[in-house]
Amino acid sequence: MNDQLQFQASGDARLKMWRLVIGQYVQNANDTPTTIVKQSTGERTYVLGVWSDTGAAQRYSVTLTK
């Protein structure tokens, strides 16, 4: 398995992702506030936060490439 997962935000939407490592959530390095791309070679647990600084409704997309 070698899947790629991409999150893209628009407007003032912001993204932040953490992964579960040995029982603790660790923020992913090299993410930007509007784009996250992760390559996975195995099963992992992630948490994704999506928010708008202004509180306005914003769009974001999720793309999985297998």
% of the chain beyond a pLDDT of 90: 44
Q: Could you tell me if 62 and 16 are in contact, meaning their C-beta atoms sit under 8 angstroms apart?
A: no
CA distances from 44 to 39, 51, 60 (A): 11, 23, 22
pLDDT of residue 25: 95
Q: How many helices (H) and strands (E) does the chain have?
A: 0, 6
pLDDT in tens, 51-61: 998 999 888 89
Q: Is the pTM of this model over 0.85?
A: no
